[in-house]
Amino acid sequence: MTFKGSISELISDIEIEEIPGVLSRDFEVARVIAKTQGRGPIVYFRVEGCEQDSVSNIVDLRSKLYKALKVESENEGYARLLEAMSNPSPLSFTGAPKLKTADRGLLSLPAARFYEEEAGLYISSALFIACFEGVCNASIHRVLVKSENIGVVRVVPRHLWDLYMRASSKGLDLPVTVVIGVHPAVMIATSSSPQLGVFELNVASKLMGGLEVYESPLHGNPVPYGAAAVIEGWLTRDMMEEGPYGDVVRTYDRARMQPVLKVDSVHLNLEEPTHVILSGGLEAALLIGYPKEALIWDYVSRVVARVHKVRLTPASGGWLHAVISIEKRHDGEAKSAIMAAFAAHPSLKHVVIVDPDVDPDDPGSVEWAIATRFQASRGLVVIENIRGSTLDPSAQDGMTSKMGLDATKPLKAGPEYRMTRIPGV
């Protein structure tokens, strides 16, 4: 059995909340998403100027993400994702679905202004598919919409940038196919950052148990059959200013010169909803953070007896801060876990290691562990002048200092380290 990679394959058995009327692109879309996230339902709404419905908060809760990945727990999900990254599956090619050519190009899509100081209307869930010289890549990027056929794309120096620079060095623009509105398992796979040469759609195929794709209308790039919108265009050698943009850590990413997306055509699958992601919201934190949690879980599992939970915290955008609960065999292993976490996720800035009786999902419990089990003189790890994340405004050109806290109790700890309990509570 193969899957189409559509949003509708997930939402059929999840509660839906329909928002009445038509939402303004300026802040109203963001307000609806912010007010409804974390409550349970997936929200359906129509954005002004769009022919399709849009959805958000598809995987704003871990329970929804586990349903999307068809797993019972985070550790099962981590294992499946890691297996998919190391052993991807082929794609199943089929004919294209019925598509309609959009009348207004990029403005037919749910581009919105989310935060008050942003540069303009943004497409927040654009999945770029590019193949060049036999290497294919799929990755998620924001697009600042300048007109019906011009956008500006934030491309960080990773795999899409590598393909873009290869094309540019030959005097060529990079042909790209951009899709919007796909199953969250596809989004997770494209956020997993396997090594260059491993195609993220093949990772998605393994993760989902098979993925149906068709060749895009212009470039022939593979597109998930259930994608709601397909943009054919070119990532050009021209540059325009992009930003500010409200990023995942809820600060404004600065304006910078970025590649121009020249759009040839936009095609709509009117049977599927498009997807809007609120950067800095719960859904964005899970989509960006879960694949990194899997890597941290893998790396830390190699140096301790057992990893119970890994959490990249929502307040850090699912990116900068981690809390990890472990079982240790020897005192000092918590520090090994700290170093393993930094190695697994180089953008990580702070990590706290706690015992199994401390819940990483409960900030109060974590603070209690720091208050009662952490001593800076023996449990603090500081690494200065190291590469971190450009999303951290306190870093200087990505250079930062990192901190790890061993908030675990000694192996021979007495009853004074136990948390008080009230029976029946």
Rounded to a whole number of angstroms, the CA Rg of the chain reads 22
Grouping H, G, I as helix, E, B as strand and the rest as coil, residue 70 is: coil
Give the 3-state DSSP-derived string for 137-206, with helices as H, strands as E and coil as C. EEEEEEEEECCCCEEEECCCCCHHHHHHHHHHHCCCCEEEEEEECCCHHHHHHHCCCCCCCCCHHHHHHH
Of 53, 60, 247, 406, the active-site residue reads: 247
> Does residue 261 contact residue 174 with C-beta atoms inside 8 Å?
no
> Does residue 163 contact residue 200 with C-beta atoms inside 8 Å?
no
Of 339, 404, 153, 399, the C-alpha closest to 262 is: 153
With b meaning 16 or more CB within 10 Å and e meaning fewer, what string describes 8-37? ebbbeeeeeeebeeebebebbbbebbbebb
Instruction: Identify whether 247 is a catalytic site residue.
Output: yes
Q: Which residues contact 257 (CB under 8 A, 6 or more apart)?
A: 239, 240, 241, 242
Cα gap 285→43, rounded to integer Å: 18
User: Token match 């709404």: residue?
Assistant: 45
Of 332, 336, 329, the C-alpha closest to 306 is: 329
User: Token match 């059959």: residue?
Assistant: 225
Please list the active-site residues. 247
